[in-house]
Chain A
Amino acid sequence: MLRHTTRTMRSHAWLYVMILPVIAYFLIFVYYPLYQGAASSFQEFKLLGTAEWIGTENYLEVWQDGTFWQVVKNTLLIGGGILVFGFFPPIMVALALNEAATLLFKKLAQTTVYLPHLFSWVVIGGMWIFLLSPGGGLINELLALINVGPVRFLTNTTWARATMIGLPIWKDMGYAAIIYLASITSINPSLYEAARIDGASRFQQMYQITLPLLKPTMKVVFMLNILGLLRIFDQIFVMRNPVVQGGIDVIMTYVYDMGIQRYELGFASAISVMVLLTTLLLTAIVWRITGFGRDD
């Protein structure tokens, strides 16, 4: 058996050599930093020199930290909001784009909804802070025309949470829509042709053919969203302010604050490891429930 394996490996030696750079890449740039991060969660951090091993002390500290549980709650509220409310808009956009009358309009609309995804949160956040400003911001100026407001979108916790849910949905809607659109265009046209011959309306075609065949793509997008659920950071970091910080800070901004601002890297690493394990668990659960990867 061993001899056979060795012989097989020798005969395909060049294939293994070709894989080596990829393996090296993952070992150096992914798994080694991951190991270092996990190791530092069991250490008392030192900037220079050897760190002291302190067992599970950092984890216990995290567990007993009230702010940690508050940011977990915020993460679930905001991340969950994005997951739930952000799931259907890209599908609707993709379906609408698919029905566009002219190619030019379709391309223009596609570019327009995709564009925000291309900008970093620094740009998008700065822009929306300005637009939502109670002093001369466009949104409040428009609301003033109908005698509403000014609304303090970013200095009232409820509004700020809603904004933190709404903006990423708006920003990334175009990206997910393109995934769905690509999936729609790969649907066999003969299915629509047969439906038309049977007298199906456009809505019936969409409901009976397009949507069911989009299910695998929906699973992929949902899975991707689950993977990002606990890792929300950019929009909160860019748009938070002291008034609403307690209500919108999420796990990763807390990791940043503890690790970078307060130099508590052991504590921050412990949270990161917990986020990693929880994400793995969540993904496994969703994988199981949705039957991801299995033929529909």
Chain B
Amino acid sequence: MSSKRPFSSSLSRRSLVQRGSALGAGAAVGKVALGSAQTPAGSPAASPVPLTEVDQDFLAAQEAVIAEIQEMGEGKTLHILSAVVGGKTPEEDQLFEEEIRRLTGIQVELVHPTAEYDEKMLADLAAGVEYDLIYMNKNRMDVLVDQEVLTDLTEQINNSAILSNPTVIPPEEWELIEYDGDTFYSVFNKFEGARMLTVRQDWLDQLGLEAPKTLDEIYDVMVAFRDQDPAGNGEGVTLGLSTAGTYDIQPFMSSEGIRPGYVEVDGKRTIPYATEAAIPVYEWLAKLYAEGLYDPSFATAETADMRNLFMTDKVGFVTYWDTWVGLFNALVEQENPGSDFQAKGLAAAEGPDGVIISRGQPSVWAIPVNAPNAELAFKFLEWWHTFPGIILGSLGILDHDYTVEGDTYELTEVGAEHAMDHGVPTPYNTNWDNPVGELPGLAEAQEISVEYGYLAQLGPQWDAEVVPILDENIIKTILGDISAADAVAAMQERLRSEGLID
């Protein structure tokens, strides 16, 4: 955990885990069920989860953490500020709090804003509101570390039998959130997947087309979707592609070997999206727009608009998170049982460097320096990576989102709507096997994420300062307002003048 973070990182979760298992001295692997002694009485995890290969060190550590948290949490309250972890409504947030209490004995006050999360976090911290745990992404963490708001957790993490276990969190993953080579201020929330090109596989099948691999092939398929009308929208109506602004055009940038974020070249900070190498891709996207293949409202569209177009047969391709491949299929099936709808993750257009897609920035939990119950908060983070914690973060709340009979887990109607996402749809812990099974198409999409996911180097200025400059010029190019060459020149000029590139 102390090695310097590489400037770029292409992740292979499986290889990391295999390496991690090998590193884990004394890790006896075998078929083990989670025994009742390891969880509070009455917990669903008291029933055996499906048998899987479970690391014995992890099991022992898990048992200890579950016992310790019960002891430490008695009569104490944790104040948690959360963006994605919790219920889907205020009522469910309350059930979520009660479920944590049932499982750990800890009273929880969950603050779960429905929007403007970063603003809420900043306002509360500035006002001196005391939280024990705060959820954030890596970019925000960079700012808060700089502001000396977060507690140094290095020693606790190193001494944690759960968190330092390589089968729980692969060692190389920790490098993504370390500072100065050996300091940690947070613990992961979940494994972050990647965003990829996703296609209507049923339309491909219907038209007898192969999955496209290059920009030209993708273009041909879009034309076929529009002109041969597999959706029955009427000839010339079906769109080829929808995105929310330029989020996320990386699957197309991949065709030129362009990486997202910053890339260091000869010791200088560069942004490949603002280089001449990107011009052919921008011209290709502008061609899609000019020919009516690209959603004409993409510049003002939200991701929800894009998702709706995809699920209502209006568009053939979107670029979105791997998890949503499964969610698209599950949601359409639930809305329209027996539908032919089939979303499939395709990764990206192949380029000179193969396939490059964007992996999500780490999402983490941190403990502010003014946390009233810092020790208990850290114990909770350890618990969050045990099976009961993972069940809560994925399946959700017992008898609300899922039921258990014997060793059979079943989602309720509400649970099916929530699609096994209560903040941790994809946990890190490799000992864990989802007892309900995966969403259709998800496992395949996650394989793609693991194989091709590239974690961009962004930094604290990226979202607020770099993205607006890129967005403005790229969208103008796609709309045909300026040429791709002019857009790149404008991006270069502004980024350099504002000291955002060297």
Contacts and interface: CB of A to CB of B under 8 A. Distances in A.
Contact of A241 (B148, B149, B245, B464): B245
Contact of B118 (A46, A150, A242, A260): A260
A67 to B, nearest CB: 9
Contacts of A152: 479
Nearest to B296: A135
A47 B463 contact: no
Interface of A: 46-49, 129, 133-137, 150, 152, 154-156, 241-243, 245-246, 257, 260-263, 265
Given A46-B148, A48-B370, 16 more contacts: A47-B125, A47-B149, A49-B148, A134-B297, A135-B295, A135-B296, A136-B297, A150-B296, A155-B300, A156-B481, A242-B468, A243-B472, A246-B472, A262-B464, A262-B465, A263-B147
Contacts of A136: 297
A263 B141 CA distance: 12
A47 B299 contact: no
Interface of B: 118-119, 122, 125-126, 128, 143-144, 147-149, 245-246, 295-297, 299-300, 368-370, 463-465, 467-468, 471-472, 475-476, 479, 481
Given A47-B126, A48-B368, A241-B245, A155 B479 contact: yes
Contact of A154 (B246, B300, B481): B300
16 contacts: A46-B148, A47-B125, A47-B144, A133-B296, A154-B299, A154-B300, A155-B300, A155-B475, A242-B245, A242-B246, A243-B472, A243-B476, A257-B464, A260-B119, A262-B465, A263-B143
Nearest to B463: A261
Nearest to B497: A66
A154 B301 CA distance: 11
A260 B299 contact: no
A242 B126 contact: no
Contact of B300 (A47, A133, A257): A133
Nearest to A129: B300
A243 B475 contact: yes
Contacts of B297: 133-137
Contact of A260 (B122, B147, B295, B370): B122
Give chain B's interface secondary structure class. Answer: helix
A242 B298 CA distance: 12
A46 to B, nearest CB: 6
Nearest to B368: A48
Give chain A's interface secondary structure class. Answer: loop
A293 to B, nearest CB: 38
A241 B478 CA distance: 14
Contacts of A156: 481
B384 to A, nearest CB: 24
A48 B148 contact: yes
B122 A245 contact: no
A245 B296 contact: no
Nearest to A262: B464
Contacts of A265: 126
A262 B296 CA distance: 31
A265 B472 CA distance: 25
Contacts of B481: 156, 243
Contact of A155 (B122, B128, B144, B299): B299
Nearest to B242: A135
A216 B125 CA distance: 46
B118 A243 contact: no
A260 to B, nearest CB: 5
Contacts of A133: 296-297, 300
Contacts of A137: 297
A125 to B, nearest CB: 10
A265 to B, nearest CB: 7
A179 B118 CA distance: 39
Contacts of B118: 260-261
Contacts of A150: 296
Contacts of A49: 148
A33 to B, nearest CB: 11
A103 B148 CA distance: 65
A241 B465 contact: no
A265 B299 CA distance: 30
A288 to B, nearest CB: 38
Contacts of A246: 472
B497 to A, nearest CB: 9
A62 to B, nearest CB: 16
A156 B481 CA distance: 9
Contacts of B125: 47-48
A134 B147 contact: no
Nearest to B115: A122
A136 B308 CA distance: 14
Most B CB contacts (10 A, CB to CB) among A134, A135, A262, A265 go to A135
Nearest to B294: A135
A150 B464 CA distance: 31
A242 B471 contact: yes
A48 B467 CA distance: 28
Contacts of A47: 122, 125-126, 144, 147, 149
Nearest to B464: A261
B299 A243 contact: yes
B245 to A, nearest CB: 6
Nearest to A140: B296
A135 B299 CA distance: 11
A49 to B, nearest CB: 7
B296 A134 contact: yes
Contacts of B468: 242, 245
B458 to A, nearest CB: 14
Nearest to A154: B300
A241 B471 CA distance: 9
A133 B302 CA distance: 12
A46 B245 contact: no
A155 B297 CA distance: 9
7 nearest A-B residue pairs (beta carbon): A242-B471, A135-B296, A135-B297, A261-B464, A133-B297, A47-B147, A134-B296
Most A CB contacts (10 A, CB to CB) among B128, B147, B246, B368 go to B147
A61 to B, nearest CB: 14
Contacts of A263: 122, 143, 147
A102 B467 CA distance: 56
